[in-house]
Amino acid sequence: MKPMTITEKILAKHAGVKEVTPGELINAKIDIALGNDITAPIAISEFRKAGAKKVFNKNKVVLVPDHFTPNKDIKSAEQVKILREFAREQKLTYFFDGGEVGVEHALLPEKGIVVPGDLVIGADSHTCTYGALGAFSTGVGSTDLAAVMITGELWFKVPESIKFVFKGKLGKWVSGKDLILHVIGDVGVDGALYRSMEFTGKPIEKLSMDSRLAMCNMAIEAGAKSGIIAPDAITEEYMRNRAQRPFKFYESDKDAAYAEVREYDCGKIEPTVACPHLPENTKKVSQLKNITIDQVIIGSCTNGRLEDLKVAAKILKGNKVAKCVRLIVIPATPFIYSEAMKLGYFDIFLKAGAVISPPTCGPCLGGHMGILAAGERAVATTNRNFVGRMGDPKSEVYLTNPAVAAASAIKGRIAHPDEVCK
């Protein structure tokens, strides 16, 4: 059997074959199929048009109405109603509503619904998040989701893999968010088009699961089919008492073939900002200290986890948000919300002058809870800064890590964390 990458091994297993080759078309069985309040209503409509009566497995179709939660208007309420009624009709095991809903790509790993070795599809581009667990996960269209809901299978073209090897030691305030922004700045928004981005090296092995999830989440911003990190002891510890099913660890063979190998010295990577209007437009924080801002968002499926809130709280403690700035903190799940409250983070945020939102995608996609007016600038821990992404087409979004976001909220401009927290 030929040497294979972790991605090829997972796809081969789910296709029921011994090996696969990049470029090969396969049909594979799906472990988890995910939809949200934007994409799932279309899939449900196609499901009914096809004459289907039952989903292939009520434990494997997951619906999370997170984009406009709590419903911001009549249309969003109608969208969620479609999901709610379908979930009841199909007796879906995993439907999250009301006080149980969270941002889908934070919620599914937290609940142990996705496990290492899985093949996961979701009608959302950031489904690639779950590669952090050692799963192959990718975004698909709503009609593909409908097909999977009916059959439990989907076709794939086996992607080539690019290996990203990180060396050295992470600097202060540098997280997985900075590593992936650095990579996207290097390769561009189409530099990994339809390829699997495999992140390796000693610094990756030392990354927390929260940082790994942030990295894989943004693989799509380089055009990738997926992002993936080989599971290890950190993965195993994360899955303990979480995993809803047995799981399997896969890793790439040492002599597996890659389309490209890129190496990075982490010692040279500083806190990084993606400037408008593309994630590839990256600069060091130190180059942007004259950029004044109107709003800061700390949250999203990229950086709304407990580790992110902890860092933000450390910087905000004893400080006040600048008079000209609106700081909005959005814990990604009810559990994160509850833990942040228990740990005293909410008290810090509120005393600093922040607004705390319930779990939601909210402003990340221009939904609600912080829409920008024309001419306004935001620093955000979100994953995408396209024109009009967070509001008016004449607004601007700067992507960064939670530490930089918190420091910027205090200073009223893009700021390095060292400026407020030595």
Look up residue 379 and give its two tokens. Answer: 């620093």
60 band by pLDDT with thresholds 50, 70 and 90: very high
pLDDT at position 196 is 97
Q: pLDDT of 369-391, one tens digit each?
A: 999 999 999 999 999 999 999 99
Query: Residue 111 belongs to what H/E stretch?
Result: helix 104-111
pLDDT at position 421 is 83
Taking the CA of residue 125 as centre, how many other CA atoms within 13 Å lie in the half-sphere pointing to its CB?
Answer: 11
Q: Is 257 helix (H, G, I), strand (E, B) or coil?
A: coil
CA quadruple 262, 268, 271, 272: dihedral sign: negative
* Distance of alpha carbon 239 from alpha carbon 209, whole angstroms: 10
Q: Which amino acid is at 257?
A: A
* Distance of alpha carbon 258 from alpha carbon 22, whole angstroms: 10
210 phi/psi in degrees, rounded to 5: -60, -45
**Beta sheet of 377-380, edge-to-edge order:** 282-284, 272-274, 396-399, 377-380, 295-298, 326-329, 355-356
261-264 LR contacts (CB < 8 Å, sep 24+): 261/162, 261/163, 261/165, 262/162, 262/163, 262/164, 262/165, 262/183, 262/186, 262/187, 263/164, 263/165, 263/166, 263/167, 264/164, 264/165, 264/166, 264/167, 264/179, 264/182, 264/183, 264/186
Residue 422 has pLDDT above 80, yes or no: no
Report the percent of the chain where pLDDT is more than 90: 97
Indicate whether this model's pTM tops 0.85.
Answer: yes
59 band by pLDDT with thresholds 50, 70 and 90: very high
Asked if residues 391 and 372 have their Cβ atoms less than 8 Å apart, the reply is: yes
Cβ burial 291-300 (10 Å sphere, 16+ → b, else e): bebbbbbbbb
314 phi/psi in degrees, rounded to 5: -60, -40
Q: pLDDT of 119-159, one tens digit each?
A: 999 999 999 999 999 999 999 999 999 999 999 999 999 99
Asked if residues 370 and 326 have their Cβ atoms less than 8 Å apart, the reply is: yes
Give the mean pLDDT of the chain: 96
Q: What is the DSSP letter of 181?
A: H
pLDDT at position 187 is 95
Residue 48 has pLDDT above 90, yes or no: yes
Look up residue 401 and give its two tokens. Answer: 């890590």
Question: What stretches of 186-259 adopt beta strand conformation (E)?
Answer: 195-200, 226-228
Question: What is the pLDDT averaged over residues 394-417?
Answer: 97
* Distance of alpha carbon 136 from alpha carbon 121, whole angstroms: 9
List the domains of the chain with CATH numbers. 6-245+259-264 (3.30.499.10), 271-419 (3.30.499.10)
Question: What is the pLDDT averaged over residues 338-355?
Answer: 98
> What Cα–Cα distance (Å) separates residue 236 from each residue in 108, 250, 397?
16, 12, 36
Query: Residue 335 belongs to what H/E stretch?
Result: helix 334-342
pLDDT at position 1 is 78
